[in-house]
Amino acid sequence: MDIHQILKQLPHRYPFILVDRVLSIEKGKSIKALKNVTINEPFFQGHFPHRPVMPGVLMLEALAQAAALLAFDTLGSSPSDEMVYYFAGIDGARFKRPVEPGDQLTLEVELLRMKAGIFKFKARALVGDELTVEAELTCAMRAIA
């Protein structure tokens, strides 16, 4: 899945779209995607000017966006003006390695369970073979009233 297909599935736009490419997706099971980290990212201006590091919350957001792509693929649907996909929880988040400009984050997300619009995922991101972050993510699809 290239960026054009991703933009059709996610409502996020610059500077908040954090998935550049989907390498593989197994319906109802898992997704593997990429986030290319460049010095041009707006957050590097303030985090930190002397030693740029990608904020951990944005690594988790990138994983949540990959999880959303997996959820929409699993359901065979796309986002709409009547539905929103919310981040509902983060459990066991652990940061293992800083992510710097020039790194390529490999986002790996596995669907653990889904019920009544609530999704639970096991997620991790790597740079090369090095683990950068891991967590269990809970997301929810809800109709907009």
Residue 108 CB-density burial (10 A; 0-12 exposed, 13-18 middle, 19+ buried): buried
For residue 26, the Cα-to-chain-centroid distance in whole angstroms is 16
For the record, the structure tokens of 123 come out as: 């997620």
pTM, two decimals, is 0.96
**For position 78, what pLDDT does the model report?**
80
Tens digits of pLDDT across the chain (145 residues)? 999 999 999 989 999 999 999 999 999 999 999 999 999 999 999 999 899 999 999 999 999 999 999 999 999 888 788 888 899 999 999 999 999 999 999 999 999 999 999 999 999 999 999 999 999 999 998 888 7
Burial status of residue 140 (CB atoms within 10 A of its CB: 0-12, 13-18, 19 or more): middle
Tell me if the domain spanning 3-143 has CATH number 3.30.70.260: no
| pLDDT for res 98 | 97
* pLDDT score, position 90: 98
Q: Does residue 61 sit in helix, strand or coil? A: helix
List, as one string, the DSSP characters of 82-140. Answer: TEEEEEEEEEEEEE-S---TT-EEEEEEEEEEEETTEEEEEEEEEETTEEEEEEEEEEE
Instruction: Tell me which residues are annotated as active site.
Output: 47
Predicted confidence at residue 115, as pLDDT, reads 95
